[in-house]
Amino acid sequence: MKKWMIVIISLLLCIIPVHADSGPKPSISIDIKGLSQQKYYVTLLSQEKSSGPFSVYDEGDEIPYEQGTEESTVWEKMIQYQDSDHFYFLQYFDNCTDTDYFVWNYYPPENFKILIYFPDTEQFLVSSIYSRYAFDSYYVVTVSSSTIQVSVEYSVYFQSFLERILLTLIIELVVAFLFGIRQKKQIFVIICINMITQILLNFCLMIFKGTSSFFLPFVYIPLEVIVIIIENKVYQKYLEIDEKKKIKAYTIIANILSFLLGLLII
């Protein structure tokens, strides 16, 4: 293996520690409609008893909320909830009264039900079973007549995807400018290859959307390395720059910077 490839892998391993607690993680976002006049809490019930750091409550575990607070009452009610399909409450929930929006962006369950709890009436509403359809999955929940209707919001997913591509292109072009890579043909090549590699990267992430949270960073690292190798090969051929080391340096730095900024946004 070439030395520069070892450098790439080493840098990415430094960015994504071996304990795999950082780096890209899937998410579930839910836009809730029809409950603007009611107080309510939302959680996702999981088919598995744990997902990342979240798990079912066992007797003897530390109680995560101060006794007497509304959050502790809601937590107790959700622990007591018995699902007909034996899905589990993993102790993560949120008060969505003011936002009408629920996000689980840290190890969400792969297969889940949406559970809504109304503290004023002590009632529950639960959805059918759903599965994450992408690395970042978006849904719209409409509540009417004590029923939950769930629709997949693909448009939000594609909007987020386009925003990631735009962010990557901005970073790549800024770094290219700093490296003196400014000709129209060079910019065109950078834009084209980045659009292609970003589509391939996101397609692969969709394939691995159900990968165990622990192993996900070890899937992502090789994908990032492959992207860097592909871009370097294309740039060596089409950027018309004699200094190969300059192209390698540009490719590595641009990709690592876009990766780091992506982590900050996440």
Query: pLDDT digit of tens for each residue in the chain (266 aa)?
Result: 455 545 544 555 455 444 334 446 688 999 999 998 889 999 999 999 999 889 999 988 888 888 889 999 999 999 999 999 999 999 999 999 999 999 998 889 999 999 999 999 999 999 999 999 888 899 999 998 788 999 988 887 788 788 888 988 999 999 999 999 999 999 999 999 999 998 888 777 767 655 555 556 677 778 888 899 999 999 999 998 888 889 999 999 998 888 777 666 55
Examine the domain organization and report whether 182 and 260 are in the same domain.
yes
Q: Does residue 148 lie within any of the structural domains?
A: no
Residue ending a domain, choose from 111, 131, 151: 131
Domain membership of residue 139 (yes or no) is no
Q: Is residue 74 assigned to a domain? A: yes
* Last-in-domain residue among 82, 113, 131: 131
Verify that 168 and 95 share a domain, yes or no.
Answer: no
Q: Specify the pTM.
A: 0.69
| Domain match, 122 and 217 both | no
Say if residue 167 is in the same domain as residue 212: yes
Does any domain span residue 137? no
Owning domain of residue 239? 3-22+161-265
The rounded distance, in Å, linking the Cα atoms of 136 and 138 is 7
Do 121 and 166 lie in one domain? The reply is no
- Asked if residue 138 belongs to a domain, the reply is no
**Is 84 within the bounds of a domain?**
yes
Report the number of distinct structural domains present in the chain: 2
Same domain assignment for residues 49 and 9? no
Q: Which of 77, 111, 131 lies at the terminal end of a domain, its last residue?
A: 131
Residue 236 lies in a domain: yes
Distance from C-alpha of 254 to C-alpha of 104, rounded to nearest angstrom: 30
Whether 186 and 246 share a structural domain: yes
The angle subtended at Cα 240 by Cα 228 and Cα 230, nearest 5°, is 20
Assigned domain for 152 exists = no
